[in-house]
Amino acid sequence: MAQVPFDQREGEIWYDGAFVPWADAKLHVLSHGLHYASSVFEGERAYGGEVFKLEEHTDRLHESARILGFEIPYSSETINQATRELLARENLVDAYVRPVAWRGSEMMGVSAQMNTIHLAIAAWEWPSYFNPEERLKGIRLDMAPYRRPDPATAPCRSKAAGLYMICTISKHEAERKGYADALMLDWRGQVAEATGANVFFIKDGQIHTPKPDCFLDGITRRTVIDLAKRRGIEVIERAILPEELAGFESCFLTGTAAEVTPVSEIANWSFQVDAITKALMEDYQREVQPKAEARVAAAG
């Protein structure tokens, strides 16, 4: 069954302060955000009708805009309330939520100081980011052709649309070769992340993960690190070189969409889905689902 294109779906989208029919949530072809990537966004996951760590996501959205040099004209409280109301109006229980802010079309050029800042929030049902059967046995990653850039050359701490161009190219190339995703190195040749998720490795009962000094310190990443520490598992954040991959026993990705996803293969390196990975998968689900179930019970 073919997927309905995202510009042809039913429902409403919150757009610049009002709920509008999905088909009417449009912007002009000469919007600055389209031509110059002056756009920031969030990827959020709702469980039981409520976004997990909504406040953290909204705060990061504001910070991303600030890094790109513009201010979103809506408070965090307004955005959070609009998100909750949108989920209720759309009758969405388990869903993906996408707030996006961008510079409008008053000026067209590199400089766009006078452009209006727009904000939209959309939500839709969201299945597993990766094939469910493949996810349980561990997904396969290729090595990405592009690298995460030096922080001196790009606003890497912003969840900015333009930073994902190389991710799309890399993921498409990996999928053409039969992989689910790709592992990206950074400009120094160190392990960085997947195209849309953070990466962790396990060896001798310890978890190793790259320092997020040129890519996002993901909200799910921080949650899983906290879950591991609750179990008494040591988490080491450090520079990781590609040649170290042969010595790791297990690997997994984390992200709002990916949640906790085991990895069975990265190029020529193989990994087992171990007990620590399985435990963290379960811990993460418990972290989000009990809260969701409590909200549903309270609403009922």
- pLDDT for residue 294: 53
**What are the boundaries of each domain within the chain?**
12-125, 132-288
Task: From the candidates 26, 53, 137, 159, give the one annotated as an active-site residue.
Answer: 159
- pLDDT for residue 132: 57
- pLDDT for residue 130: 56
- pLDDT for residue 52: 95
- pLDDT for residue 116: 97
- pLDDT for residue 3: 81
- pLDDT for residue 136: 77
230 CB contacts (<8 Å, ≥6 apart)? 283
Taking CA atoms, 57 is separated from 63, 71, 73, 274, 282, in Å, by 10, 16, 16, 30, 23
- pLDDT for residue 43: 96
Q: Which listed CATH number (3.30.160.20, 2.40.37.10, 3.20.10.10, 3.30.1280.10) goes with 132-288?
A: 3.20.10.10
Q: Which listed CATH number (3.30.470.10, 3.30.360.10, 3.40.640.10, 3.40.50.720) goes with 12-125?
A: 3.30.470.10
- Told to judge if 211 belongs to the known catalytic residues of this protein, a careful annotator would answer no
Instruction: Please list the pLDDT of the chain residue by residue as tens digits (300 residues).
Output: 468 899 999 999 999 999 999 999 999 999 999 999 999 999 999 999 999 999 999 999 999 999 999 999 999 999 999 999 999 999 999 999 999 999 999 999 999 999 999 999 999 998 655 555 666 789 999 999 999 999 999 999 999 999 999 999 999 999 999 999 999 999 999 999 999 999 999 999 999 999 999 999 999 999 999 999 999 999 999 999 999 999 999 999 999 989 999 999 999 999 999 999 999 999 999 998 855 455 545 444
Give pTM, 2 decimals.
0.92
- pLDDT for residue 5: 92
- pLDDT for residue 296: 46
